[in-house]
Structure 1
């Protein structure tokens, strides 16, 4: 019957098919040179800025098509996204427009189920791949091809801040192999040291944008701090939850995500990021639960004990529980730990640090050491973290118009 209907020129099925073909004319795919890198516990598509349109307003449809957004199924199967915030990212690198930078780097966060194209914040994890990309694609000229290591000064256009990326090189390219491991990524690789220079006030111009060390939203104490990215830290015990919840447990909790989003949006308004809660960007401020390991049960995933970490952190990124911890959140957390009276300082009060080099954070995939250096006047000089990165492929990337 179906065959007869399709063979009949007056068939309703054939008529419907013709109409759909007329409504969606066939077109060739577009393509651009691109690369795909892992940076820390994230992945992103990389473009040279010169390969994208000169007007940034024209980037949005290209980047959505490349990543596969929006996808109502939440999987981004028709693009290179991975269905979660840490895999729905694009990095654009070009010549520096800053006198203290070697290259410019613009980070773009793409919504998974929605059409958001967000330039409001940086990604610390992907920052670790920017220096290697710049070297690999000759955007940063090595002063000597015989060097075994290099430092690239990255100007992050999202925040206006400088990040110094130091890593080994081999035969004029970024090294990929090494003996350094990070929790959340299998195997070992070359170590990338990221020094975030003068990271306070990335979006608001000041480290404590509300003017207070703590604020109260919906009856919950919160520390709002802007270091590398604007962040909000709340104590897990104040929301009556355990500090070592898994990402799945956070998602499955009947009220936790909505409460955290309400707190985040109220904090965003008070931090000056938007005029109304509804207008607060999806990517900033980040919000993170903190807890003392001595006040919560032992982590089931990594068997963390109070002797291994200084505190537990569970962060959200674009509304989703992060499987590790965003690097910008870790940097802000390290700074907040040094601010007396903050919610972070409260959970580590009276404890000797696990490692004198900084603060050891227990996250859902393991541990992370991050340090912060303060100036004599109390200002934040820099924050440092160690990651790994690797080029996964290069070539031409296609998207549908």
Structure 2
């Protein structure tokens, strides 16, 4: 076994698939094709993505695309016998967020977008068997090693059991055209990293932080941990602190540095408060929320507007795990998201399990959360699409 691992370790290139899942793209690898020790993966992943690229940030020497949503790797493997027998898990996977300008490899969280393609990849690679339902769908139960959580992915398959991802069933914001519907259901998503839905036991906390000029300030924040930990703040409160959020949103350079520095300071303080590593840029993520006020918001029955950051850069859509966390937060009384949604939503009072409509820079996403009578979050659900882009080998 040792000699086999050594042979694989020294083999360049290695088998890989390049897949789109939701609004992300990433390299999918089998763990059997990597060194047995996770500590030996780093230089392989950096080589695959073309990182670090401190001068240009474009990752032109690898498969990355210069933004966080294109600098991702999933390592997939069969479940253990215990996982299969006790929890009916079909496949397990580890997600890696690869740094762009630096050499960081972050395993602290999951990617909700690429999760949508784990089941399809596992079937393509014959890692698990196909159970095709009467309506032509297959459900693959996935275990994420980063968060120790279970996610069910359901999607169409052919009669021979091959994932059928090209049906014109649905579209998602940020991706052109229609594709097959992939339903991702996160089971018991609360406490993915901290063990608690509300790591501080409070729906809203006051966080101290530093403005870019070194002046101390404080801001209200909801610290949530569902699918991934997140720090949620209000755009209006950022404005009240003198931060030019509006020009930051549209990319005006003069406002970027003060707002970015302030948000990173808030994010790091949120991480410390949740007892997480503040230097891990991928987790927790931070987002600022707004009340829907535009005519299009009202016409589209939007519940909450979000602008999220990923790896310190404003996301062109919304990281799906943050979107799921926000959908759950909107159902928890006293959170900043709950307060906004209560004032804006159009669903009937008491419809606790209705979908939450979230507008982000790329469009609208509907996120569902199943909340039990005792307040336990039983599941969070979102619709995604995906596509095979390439299968072959990748050099590192």
What TM-score range do you get, normalising by the shorter chain?
0.7 to 0.9
1:314 aligns with 2:307: yes
1:200 aligns with 2:190: yes
Q: Aligned ranges for residues 189-338 of structure 1 at < 5 Å?
A: 189-218=179-208, 219-240=218-239, 246=249, 248-249=251-252, 252-274=255-277, 277=278, 280-294=279-293, 298=294, 304-308=296-300, 309-338=302-331
1:178 to 167, 171, 182: 167
1:158 to 146, 169, 177: 146
Q: Is residue 315–residue 322 contact of structure 1 (8 Å, CA) maintained in 2?
A: yes
In the TM superposition, residue 397 of structure 1 has moved relative to its aligned partner by: 0.7
TM-score, normalising length: structure 2: 0.87
Give the secondary-structure state (helix, strand or coil) at the position aligned to 2:199. Answer: coil
CA displacement 1:339-364 (0-9 Å, x = unmatched): 11111112222333369731100000
What runs of 5+ residues in structure 2 fail to find an aligned partner?
1-9, 209-217
Name the CA shift for 1:29/1:135 in 2 (closer, same or farther; >3 Å).
closer
In the TM superposition, residue 156 of structure 1 has moved relative to its aligned partner by: 0.3
1:55 aligns with 2:37: yes
1:85 to 56, 64, 68: 68
Which structure would you say has the larger Rg? 1
What is the distance in 1 between the residues matched to 2:307 and 2:234? 10
1:359 aligns with 2:356: yes
- Which moved further from structure 2: 136-145 or 172-181? 136-145
What is the distance in 2 between the residues matched to 1:58 and 1:145? 40
Give the secondary-structure state (helix, strand or coil) at the position aligned to 1:189. Answer: coil
Name the CA shift for 1:63/1:273 in 2 (closer, same or farther; >3 Å).
same
Q: Is residue 132–residue 157 contact of structure 2 (8 Å, CA) maintained in 1?
A: no
Q: Is residue 310–residue 354 contact of structure 1 (8 Å, CA) maintained in 2?
A: no
What is the distance in 2 between the residues matched to 1:172 and 1:146? 13
Q: CA RMSD in A?
A: 2.1
In the TM superposition, residue 58 of structure 1 has moved relative to its aligned partner by: 0.7
What runs of 5+ residues in structure 1 fail to find an aligned partner?
1-27
**Match for residue 211 of structure 2?**
none
In the TM superposition, residue 293 of structure 1 has moved relative to its aligned partner by: 1.4
